[in-house]
Amino acid sequence: MTYASGDTFEPSYLRLLDNGELARRRDQALAILGQCRLCSRECRVDRLAGEAGFCRSGRQALVASHGPHFGEERPLVGLDGSGTIFFANCSLGCIFCQNYDISHLGRGRAVSTERLAEFMLELQRLGCHNINLVTPTHFVPQILEALVIAAEQGLEVPLVYNCGGYESVETLKLLEGVIDIYMPDAKYSDGRVAARLSGAEDYPQRMQAAIAEMHRQVGDLQIDERGLAQRGLLVRHLVLPNNLAGTADIMQFLANLSPDTYVNVMAQYRPCYRASEVQEISRRLTVAEYGAAVQAALDAGLHRLDERPLSILRG
C-alpha cells in the first residue's frame, strides 16, 4: 500500500496558481475550443463561435448536478463524501449508459465560470474530501477557468478527473500538475466491440495511451492514514455480460503498467438506455461472470482491488 501524509498534502494546482502556470494552462485550453480537439473525436469545430461537435457542447459548461456523493470508491468517499460535479453530454456514445439522460439527452444547465467555481467551494465547505469532476473531458477549459477563481478563493482539496477513458493525450498534458487523482474507465480491449457499443473503434488504443499518460503524471494511488486518496491513478472497469469488455486483456494492460494499480472491478452493469438492442448485453451480469473478472485481475498480478459486494448482482 502506498501512503501519503494527510498533514503535508497540498493539491498540485496550488503550486501552478502561485507561479502563474495555472492561468497559462487555462488560456491554452480555451484556445483549443476554437478548433476543438479536447477529446479523441477531434471534431475541430469552433465552439467559441457556437459550433458543436459530437458532444453537442458550446462555450459554457453544462452541469447536471453537484453535491456530496457516497456511492463512489471508498478512498474517495471517506466519512463526508466525494464532492461530485456531473457535467452534461459526453464524448462517447455508450448505448448502455446508466446516466443517458445526462450523457445522451443533455440534461443540465449552462453555468458561468463564476458559478462553477462556487460549486467547487461549496462542496469544500460541506466537508467533501475532494472535487470529483464527472465526465469532464469536453469542458476542460471551463474547469480550468473556474479552478483559477476557486483556488484564489481558498480551494485546497484534491481534484478528481472522473472520465470515460476516451481522452486526448494533448489535453491530458495540459492537466499535468492540475489533477491530483485520475479516475478513468477502461471499457473495452476490442475495437470492434467499442465501435458497436460506444461508436469509438479506436477506443482501446486511445484509452491505453491516456491511462499510461495519467500514470506518468501521478503514479499509483496514494492513500493517507485516514484511508483517503490524495494523489494517483484509480481505474474503473465495468464488467459486461458475455465478456464483451475483454476483461482479462484490460487487467493485463493495467498490471503491465503497474501491479500496484488500484482497480475497481465493477459489477454494477444493468441493461439501460438502448442495451436491449444488443442481445449479448440485454441482461444483467451473473455472479460467475463477475467472479471470473475478479479472478482475471488477480491472475494478472493486480492486488489493489476496490471492495464491492457480490450482493450488487442480486439487487
pLDDT per residue over 12-58, tens digit each? 999 999 999 999 999 999 999 999 999 999 999 999 999 999 999 99
How confident is residue 7, by pLDDT bands cut at 50, 70 and 90? low
Angle at 96 between CA 301 and CA 60, to 5 degrees: 100
Identify the helix (H) or strand (E) that includes residue 194: helix 191-198
As a 3-state breakdown, the chain gives helix, strand, coil percent values, each rounded to 5, of 40, 15, 40
pLDDT > 80? residue 6: no
Q: Is the pLDDT assigned to residue 3 strictly greater than 90? A: no
DSSP at 233: E
pLDDT at 45: 96
pTM of the model: 0.94
CA 237: distance to chain centroid? 11
Give the tens place of pLDDT for each residue, 146-172. 999 999 999 999 999 999 999 999 999
Dihedral angle, C-alpha 115, 119, 121, 125, nearest 10 °? 140
What pLDDT does residue 311 have? 46
CB 85 within 8 Å of CB 66: yes
Give the single-character DSSP code of 284.
P
Distance CA 77, CA 128 (A): 8
* Residue-range domain boundaries for the chain: 12-48+60-314
Tens of pLDDT along 206-232? 999 999 999 999 999 999 999 999 999
| Residue 221: count of CB within 10 angstroms of its CB | 26
| Number of other CB atoms surrounding residue 226 within 10 Å | 11
In tens, the pLDDT along 270-310 reads 999 999 999 999 999 999 999 999 999 999 999 999 976 54
Q: How far is residue 188's CA from residue 203's CA, in Å, rounded to a whole number?
A: 7
* C-alpha radius of gyration, the chain, whole number: 19
In single-letter form, the type of residue at position 29 comes to A
pLDDT band at residue 106 under the 50/70/90 scheme = confident
Average pLDDT on 76-80 reads 95
12-48+60-314 CATH fold: TIM Barrel (3.20.20)
Q: Which residue has the higher pLDDT, 51 or 2?
A: 51
CB atoms within 10 A of CB 49: 10
**What's the pLDDT score for residue 8?**
73
